[in-house]
Amino acid sequence: MRPVDRNLVEDLVAANRILASRGILDGFGHVSVRQAERPDRFLMARSMAPALVTADDIVEHDLDGRAVASGISTYLERFIHCEIYRARPDVHAIVHSHSPALIAFGVVESTPLRAVCHTAAFLGTCTPVFEIREAAGPATDMLIRSPELGRALTQSLGSSPLVLMRGHGSTVVGANLPQVVYRAIYAELNARLQSEAMRSGAVTYLTEDEARLAAETNDGAIGRSWELWRRAI
């Protein structure tokens, strides 16, 4: 592997462990970060459980999904990361997870996931859902295991921060690791809150203006959460 930014590697290891410790990632799922000085390359762990990732496990990938060092086993669904980085220059970090409360919103067409709480304001008023059957027909193993499926997922994501994947999980994007970790944690929390609230009665959601203004405020304070989470692992 070429020399890479050691601080970025340490932050990526921390992101893996934070997300695992909070139940967003388990044995599966992955988090990646784009390299500032080489935007066509990103860093991600080799194929392994996120809670066990150390700096030695971080591998440089190109946008075709190849590990730059040979002989390393990489995640099957690495094309999620490749194709989003290719299409979205604003994205510098990505989390793909199977966090459970979000999955419920990918399977009920009539109920979009949307912000019920100011901490998850980045979700706005509607969240896109990726239907793999539209891209690959009715008989897949549900995984994003090719560049074509990565591109179809990226198309569903559009300019949103998060795309739900029907019957599978979700993918969330951000401008940096602290922001994407924050979004992965608070999207799952919002899904739990929204489900609970819907069981109790008609829900009052954040409006578009409330969501936009609260998201701006939160973005200025994400460092506080990141410091706390880094310290706690």
- Partners of 66 in the β-ladder: none
Distance CA 26, CA 93 (A): 19
Tell me the C-alpha to C-alpha distance, in Å, between residue 65 and each of 60, 80, 226: 10, 9, 28
Please name the residues in contact with 207: beta carbons below 8 A apart, sequence gap of 6 or more. 125
User: Among all residues, which ones are annotated catalytic?
Assistant: 77
Nearest to 151 by CA among 217, 102, 223, 79: 79
> Do 52 and 40 meet the contact criterion of CB atoms below 8 Å apart?
no
Distance CA 5, CA 8 (A): 5
Q: Return the H-helix or E-strand segment holding 228.
A: helix 222-232
Distance CA 150, CA 77 (A): 8
b (16+ CB within 10 A) / e for 129-166: bbebeebbeeeeeeebbbbebbbbbbebbeebbbbbbb
